[in-house]
Amino acid sequence: MSQGATARLPLRARLGLTQPPDRRRRFAKRPASRRPTMLKATAQRTGNLAHRIRIRQHELAADEPLDAGGDDSAPNPQELLAASLASCTAITIEMYAKRKGWDLGPVAVDVEYTPAERGCQTRFELVLRLPEDLTEEQVDRLRVIAAKCPVHRTLDGEVAFEERVEIAARA
């Protein structure tokens, strides 16, 4: 191989490195506008099993149903997960259609799932309810775009948890 051809190879290949670079280093090199956003939600107990959840300037609630020992004052966390996937999918396809200049009209996304036992796969069932006047090509494209919503990608990807405990005085 000529010296010019070698210079066109990525630096990692020229150095004989085959492993991809560490993700943290890749993100550090991206401009701030393209780095992954750290999202934060805080749940604080307000009653029996009920919790107030703060996300930026918004508040919502979570509770367990009566048969699980809660007061059924709000959706349970599993239902909020289904709601996250349904709303993210709907917003993603609506944003895409808007960019394409497509008038979607009423759109609905139903999500059903049964939480899996530890070590088993969780299966989500998504139903996109789209207007009947869309072309087959539009429907196919929206189906592909639906799977690209951030919540779908998060659930479909590799997940790691970093947990810690902080001791606080009782209020």
Predicted confidence (pLDDT) at residue 68 exceeds the cutoff of 90 = yes
Q: Provide the Cα torsion 123, 127, 128, 132; round to 10°.
A: 150
What digits encode the pLDDT tens for the residues 113-125?
988 888 888 889 9
Same domain, 112 and 163: yes
What is the total count of domains within the chain?
A: 2
Residue pointed to by tokens 């490195």: 17
Same domain, 70 and 120: no
User: What is the spatial order of strands in the sheet that 58-62 belongs to?
Assistant: 42-45, 51-55, 58-62
Same domain, 120 and 170: yes
The confidence score (pLDDT) of residue 106 equals: 86
Same domain, 64 and 84: no
The confidence score (pLDDT) of residue 75 equals: 97
- State the residue range of the domain holding 166: 76-171
Same domain, 27 and 70: yes
Let me know if residue 7 belongs to a domain: no
Identify the CATH number of the domain in which residue 94 sits: 3.30.300.20
Interacting residues of 23 by C-beta distance below 8 A, sequence separation 6+: none
Let me know if residue 156 belongs to a domain: yes
Same domain, 97 and 43: no
Same domain, 87 and 171: yes
Let me know if residue 164 belongs to a domain: yes
Let me know if residue 5 belongs to a domain: no
The confidence score (pLDDT) of residue 18 equals: 52
Cα→Cα distances 139→94, 134, 143, Å = 12, 6, 6
The confidence score (pLDDT) of residue 85 equals: 97
Residue 140 to residue 146: CA distance in whole angstroms: 10
Query: Does the global pTM surpass 0.85?
Result: no
What digits encode the pLDDT tens for the residues 21-40?
444 444 445 555 555 678 89
The confidence score (pLDDT) of residue 27 equals: 44
Average pLDDT over residues 75-101: 96
Let me know if residue 17 belongs to a domain: no
The confidence score (pLDDT) of residue 83 equals: 97
